Amino acid sequence: MHQQPFDSLTEKPQFPGASADFVDHLEFIQPNVIAGIPVYRVMDRQGQIMNTSEDPQIPKEEVLNFYEKMTLLNTMDRIMYESQRQGRISFYMTNYGEEGTHVGSAAALDPSDVVFGQYREAGVLMYRGFPLDLFMAQCYANMDDLGKGRQMPVHYGSKDHNFVTISSPLATQIPQAAGTAYAIKRENTNRVVICYFGEGAASEGDAHAGFNFAATLECPIIFFCRNNGYAISTPTHEQYRGDGIAARGPGYGMMSIRVDGNDVFAVYNATKEARRRAIAENQPFLIEAMTYRIGHHSTSDDSSAYRSVDEVNYWDKQDHPISRLRHYMTSRGWWGEDEERAWRKQSRKLVMEAFEKAERRLKPRPELLFTDVYEEMPVHLGKQQDGFWRHMQQYREHYPFDLYDK
């Protein structure tokens, strides 16, 4: 039997699990063989465009809308945070310092795109037109709340705005978003799903499942990570040893980018391009937006326990997404002190009007506790409802029925 000449130097691995070459020397891969993934930006901290070819050329009216939404969100946060401290609502989470990630990404999407949030994406919903009255109604759990008073504050949701209702457990939205993106792909409707999460949530097992499903099923989805430095209370150097979250994308076969999350134009450009390609190529994209959580994680947190006041002040005063955008507008003569004073006064008035209205509204009808899970109420739930009403009638004087809708 005649054998063909064999050259071991040109032999290629045939293993089905990877694409690679053979080597004849032992070497473990170092975790930091290259410099960190670069951070894409369009503006510097003073609002100056770094590379004119990257300027998105957004019209003045839209840039002003960006700024008004970012500052309105900031105003709402300040008032609602204080309302929680006064005992008016039970819980709140601010968005201080992360407004650019919300508005920049929301502006690059189509209204028909489906949003899965974590719990710090109120600006996305605000940009889509969700009114202040409904933000307040949700936090106060009153009769106008779309969730009928069943959720914690800041757990927003709106079918009309394609914004899936927030759930508290971290990262549960990631595999759900991948599944939704697969369904959208099968419908062939030229839409994408965007799924927001923090770098802390990226440590959950659900993140792995969602990334892997999205990549192997070739789903049109944008995974948007807000890397704000501290998760709930854990600094990033204690969370992971690799190069952040964007570095994980190639391991799943995903296109990835790291952007300056305090640069609203960089976020806009990256999200817009990711959306275009996700639809055209049916593949997932991972965006890691580097930002900083200026506020406490929530009203249940005291961030002074794990970071210094000086550190927070730096980001608040020196590298804030709102001030950066204001510098940009001011340099073009689009915004000045008169406009700033007038808008600050108007935005506070808008928030306070919605706030006062929400406080006066009644709570949802108690019987709504038993609806919307089953199409037809099962026997066991009917028994619970009967027992609930018997208890209410027997001890009526102990319950503030006058505060509830009839």
Annotated catalytic residues are 82, 168, 297-298
Under DSSP, is residue 114 helix (H, G, I), strand (E, B) or coil? strand
Pairing of strands 255-260, 221-227: unpaired
* 8 Å CB contact between 223 and 288: no
- For residues 323 and 276, what is the distance between their CA atoms, to the nearest angstrom? 29
Alpha carbon of 200 to those of 81, 229, 244, 401: distances in Å? 23, 9, 11, 42
Query: In terms of DSSP H, where are the helices of 248-378?
Result: 249-252, 264-281, 309-318, 321-331, 337-360
* 8 Å CB contact between 165 and 151: yes
- For residues 187 and 198, what is the distance between their CA atoms, to the nearest angstrom? 29
Which amino acid is located at 254 in the chain? M
- For residues 86 and 63, what is the distance between their CA atoms, to the nearest angstrom? 35
- Other CB atoms within a 10 A radius of the CB of residue 397 amount to 6
Kindly state the helix (H) or strand (E) to which residue 224 belongs, with its residue range: strand 221-227
- For residues 82 and 85, what is the distance between their CA atoms, to the nearest angstrom? 5
- Other CB atoms within a 10 A radius of the CB of residue 286 amount to 26
- For residues 124 and 9, what is the distance between their CA atoms, to the nearest angstrom? 55
Query: In terms of DSSP H, where are the helices of 190-308?
Result: 205-216, 236-239, 249-252, 264-281
Under DSSP, is residue 287 helix (H, G, I), strand (E, B) or coil? strand
- For residues 110 and 262, what is the distance between their CA atoms, to the nearest angstrom? 22
Residue indicated by tokens 């919300």: 102
Strand order across the beta sheet in which 193-198 lies: 163-164, 114-116, 193-198, 221-227, 285-290, 255-260
